[in-house]
């Protein structure tokens, strides 16, 4: 199973429609758990949100953090990393923190940290990009022609 656990709730609009479009195509099914933003001082907010993300992803999951300091994969490498986790009979849970990012305790519980580059992305766009990359990764793994490994 694939799971995105994210802080904040997506509203109706193009980002939600795009995530939904990819969700319906991905196998194994992509689940999304949205958690409320915490309130308070920065460190307390990050701690509460990190704790909520860890609680939401307990069970038979390998946790993967989306973090600017994580590994930058190409699509084929990302597909291989996902395949490796799934081949061990575990689900993959992707943690997307709130506006303040993930606290260290949550990062420490993640076996893998990935980054979409050094630029800052809006959190709702990160969900869209992750859903698309998960669809691409599963397409690569199944031999579907969606991904083109060479440029025209």
Q: SS3 letters for 65-132?
A: EEEEEEECCCHHHHHHHHHHHHHCCCEEEEEECECCECCHHHHHCCCEEECCCCCCCCHHHHHHHHHH
Q: In whole angstroms, what is the distance from residue 145 CA to residue 10 CA?
A: 30
Q: Which residues of the chain have pLDDT under 50?
A: none
* Helix orientation angle between 123-142 and 14-23, rounded to the nearest 10 degrees: 20
Q: Is 121 annotated as a binding residue?
A: yes
Is 125 within any annotated ligand binding site?
A: no
Q: What is the residue whose two structure tokens read 């195509």?
A: 25
The two three-digit tokens of residue 56, written as one number: 């939401």
The pLDDT, as a whole number, for residue 130 is 97
pLDDT score, position 146: 80
CATH number for the domain spanning 51: value is 3.40.1280.10
Query: Residue 150 annotated as binding?
Result: no
- 117 annotated as a binding-site residue: yes
Instruction: Tell me, yes or no, whether 58 lies in a domain.
Output: yes
Number of domains in the chain: 1
For 36, the domain range is 2-142
120 is in an annotated binding site: yes
């Amino acid at each position: 199973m694939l799971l995105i656990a994210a802080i904040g709730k997506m509203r109706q609009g193009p980002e939600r429609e795009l995530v939904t479009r990819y969700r319906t195509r991905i196998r194994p099914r992509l689940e999304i758990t949205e958690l409320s933003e915490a309130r308070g001082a920065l460190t307390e907010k990050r701690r509460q949100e990190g704790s909520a993300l860890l609680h939401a992803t307990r069970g038979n999951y390998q946790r993967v953090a989306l973090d600017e300091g994580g590994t930058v994969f190409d699509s084929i490498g990302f597909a291989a990393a996902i395949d490796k986790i799934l081949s061990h009979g575990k689900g993959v849970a992707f943690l997307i923190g709130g506006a303040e990012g993930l606290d260290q305790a949550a990062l420490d519980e993640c076996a893998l940290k990935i980054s979409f580059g050094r630029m800052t992305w809006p959190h709702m766009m990160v969900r869209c990009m992750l859903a698309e990359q998960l669809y691409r990764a599963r397409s690569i793994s199944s031999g579907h022609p969606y991904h083109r490994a060479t440029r025209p």
